[in-house]
Amino acid sequence: MRDRTRTFSLRTAVALSCALALVTPGRIDSQTKITVDKNKYTPAQDVQVGQEAAAQVRKELPLLKDELVDEWVDTVGARLVTAIPPEFAHKEFRYTFDVVNQKEINAFALPGGPMFLNRGMIEAAKTEAEVAGVMAHEISHVALRHGTAQATKAEKFQIGAILGQIAGAAVGGTLGGIIGQGSQIGLGTYFLKFGRAAESQADILGAQMLARAGYNPREMANMFKTIEAEGGSRGPEFMSSHPNPGNRFNAINKEADALKVQGNYSTGDFTRVHSRLTGMSPALTAEQIAANNKKGTAPSPTASGRTVRVEPPASQARTYQPARFLRVSVPANWQQQQTSDVVTYAPEGGYTADSSGRTSFTHGLQVGVAQGGTGDLQRDTTALLQGFARSNPGLRSSGSRREAIGGRNGLTTILSNTSDATGQSESIAVSTTHLKDGNVLFLVGVAPSSERPVYEDAFSRVRQTLQIRD
């Protein structure tokens, strides 16, 4: 069993590995040079936000805690950490590796170093180097600080909104915000869903690290093929958090051509680990994990498919300031939750987990900023709605109307959707207005269709009283 002492000694070992990386050979000239994105946060902030999120993850996901398996991933992980190029090795970072007893093929890493690998991913791999490939990719996101770099780009919401609030992602005791499945209407998360540029960088740096650690980088490309082939109705979660930047396999193989694999490393334990895993009782599905969490002491989301009874919006208002430039007055019985890239105002019971453990937001309002760019509110709004429609395939628009939002020209679009969580029809009001920098401030009001009149009234008051000072 993995106890505290062991975890501590692992961290020490990895920290030493970071120091050793400073004396390992420098880059080979033909390999691709990586330029890091602008980041206004400190590495210490990466560590803080990552640790808070990791604590939440450890509460919600069943860790496998098998000594043989843990030692093996720790050894592979430590080996890869020594292969981080010195310019990307942050002394504050502590890379840790936990195996989650979950069936779906997935892995994710949090800022500052905590990584979680699903048992299903190891079982699907054919070689140690394939697992190392996914781990090298994840370590690259951490080392290049992609999570906080994304937060830097979305400057409108300060990191204060993210730091210390990450636990809010666990509202309703869900797996949602944390592991990148996001709320149904949300836009994903800063830390776990990456853009194409970040994906390319993690593929390239991952390949370089693999070669330095003695693994063939082409095995990473092979593993991505296996993951893509996995499919499923929504596709593998890994691929939605790590989208193919285009031509992924060729790009990795091309980089591999420029690299010299330094030795031929293997712990030699993959076969033993693999047969141990496949011989255990089956890993839990996301659905089973969500059901177990509901039984636990975590704040329990309402059972899937049940009619949710939620107190109607209070007539008194309460004002929040989710960002420097914004004041929002919402019904006094709604609580503010700042999770990743949106701020949600919802009454108690306003979130529900569906059968696969994804969190749906069923009552309340979300506020966020999306990238604008066309200068035309209708066109920017259409792009935003298309984004929502990708994660909510049942979304149908019943038309837009011009309506002032916080005293500015705005658009309100009414949509209908079938809630994944309750199976019931819901009414969604999306209001948009331009900020001075051309980006789009949006408000998304969600309520069951049967309760639409009372919620529409509440949403309308929020739109009228919104104060924007950008």
Binding residues (CB under 5 A) for Zn ion: these are: 194, 199, 202, 242
CB of 431 to Zn ion, least distance (A): 33
Q: Which is nearer to Zn ion, 69 or 220 (CB)?
A: 220
Phi, psi of 197 (to 5 degrees): -65, -45
Q: Which is nearer to Zn ion, 132 or 202 (CB)?
A: 202
Q: Which is nearer to Zn ion, 173 or 245 (CB)?
A: 245
Tell me which residue has its CB nearest to Zn ion: 242
Q: Which is nearer to Zn ion, 52 or 199 (CB)?
A: 199
* Nearest one of 402, 420, 419 to 411, comparing CA atoms: 402
**First-last CA distance in the chain:** 53
Say which residues have a Cβ less than 8 Å from residue 179's Cβ, sequence separation at least 6.
Answer: 57, 61, 106, 108, 116, 192, 237
Q: Which is nearer to Zn ion, 137 or 358 (CB)?
A: 137
Strands (E), 54-130: 96-100, 107-109, 114-118
Q: How far is CA 157 from CA 180, 243, 380, 443, in A?
A: 19, 24, 19, 14
CB of 140 to Zn ion, least distance (A): 8
CB of 203 to Zn ion, least distance (A): 8
Q: Which is nearer to Zn ion, 5 or 35 (CB)?
A: 35
Q: Which is nearer to Zn ion, 171 or 239 (CB)?
A: 239
Task: Measure the CA–CA gap between 424 and 418, rounded to whole angstroms.
Answer: 6
CB 310 within 8 A of CB 426: no
CB of 253 to Zn ion, least distance (A): 17
CB 205 within 8 A of CB 266: no
CB of 215 to Zn ion, least distance (A): 17
Among left, alpha and beta (phi > 0; psi -120 to 50; other), residue 64 is alpha
Task: Measure the CA–CA gap between 111 and 94, rounded to whole angstroms.
Answer: 10
Q: Which is nearer to Zn ion, 196 or 306 (CB)?
A: 196
State the amino acid at position 415 in one-letter form.
L
Q: Which is nearer to Zn ion, 227 or 290 (CB)?
A: 227
CB of 188 to Zn ion, least distance (A): 13
Question: Where are the alpha helices (H) located in 144-236, listed in sequence order?
Answer: 146-153, 176-179, 196-213, 218-230
CB of 350 to Zn ion, least distance (A): 31
Among left, alpha and beta (phi > 0; psi -120 to 50; other), residue 399 is left
Residues in the chain: 470
* Nearest one of 303, 276, 298 to 287, comparing CA atoms: 303
Task: Measure the CA–CA gap between 456 and 102, rounded to whole angstroms.
Answer: 40
Task: Measure the CA–CA gap between 16 and 204, rounded to whole angstroms.
Answer: 25
